[in-house]
Amino acid sequence: MKKILIFTGFLFAIDQGVKLLISYFIGENHIPIIPNFFHIHPYLNDINQFERTFNFKIPIIIMLVVCIVAVFFIIFFYRFFNFVTKKWRKLLTSFTSFTLAGMLCACIDQIVWGGSLDYMCFYRNYPDDYEWFCKVCNEYHTGGTFHSYIFDLKDIYIDIGFILILILIIIMLIEYYKNFSKEERKKHTLKWLFKWIGRGCPTNNTEQE
Domain ranges of the chain: 2-198
- Range name among 2-16, 45-59, 96-110, 150-164 with the lowest pLDDT average: 45-59
Ramachandran area for residue 10 (φ above 0: left; ψ -120 to 50: alpha; else beta): alpha
Q: pLDDT class for 161, splitting at 50, 70, 90?
A: very high
Contacts 24+ apart (CB under 8 A), 174-180: 175/87
Where b means 16+ CB within 10 Å and e means fewer, 169-190 reads eeeeeeeeeeeeeeeeeeeeee
pLDDT of residue 32: 81
Going by C-beta distance under 8 Å and a sequence separation of 6 or more, which residues neighbour residue 111?
A: 60, 64
Stretch (H or E) spanning 109: none
pTM of the full structure: 0.73
Cα 151 to Cα 110: distance, rounded to the nearest angstrom: 15
Contacts 24+ apart (CB under 8 A), 124-131: 124/148, 125/36
Give Cα 76 to chain centroid, integer Å.
18
- Residue range 114-125: mean pLDDT, rounded: 82
- Residue range 71-91: mean pLDDT, rounded: 79
Single-letter code of the amino acid located at 177: Y
Stretch (H or E) spanning 174: helix 153-178
When comparing pLDDT for 46 and 155, which is higher?
A: 155
When comparing pLDDT for 179 and 152, which is higher?
A: 152
Instruction: State residue 19 phi and psi, 5-degree precision.
Output: -65, -40
Cα 27 to Cα 44: distance, rounded to the nearest angstrom: 11
Q: pLDDT class for 179, splitting at 50, 70, 90?
A: low
Give Cα 193 to chain centroid, integer Å.
29
- Range name among 16-25, 66-75, 111-120, 171-180 with the lowest pLDDT average: 171-180
Cβ contact 159:103 at 8 Å: no
Radius of gyration, CA atoms only, the chain: 22
Does the structure show a pLDDT above 90 at 79? no
Cα 150 to Cα 99: distance, rounded to the nearest angstrom: 19
Average pLDDT, the chain: 78
The secondary structure of residue 58, as a DSSP letter, is P
When comparing pLDDT for 47 and 110, which is higher?
A: 110
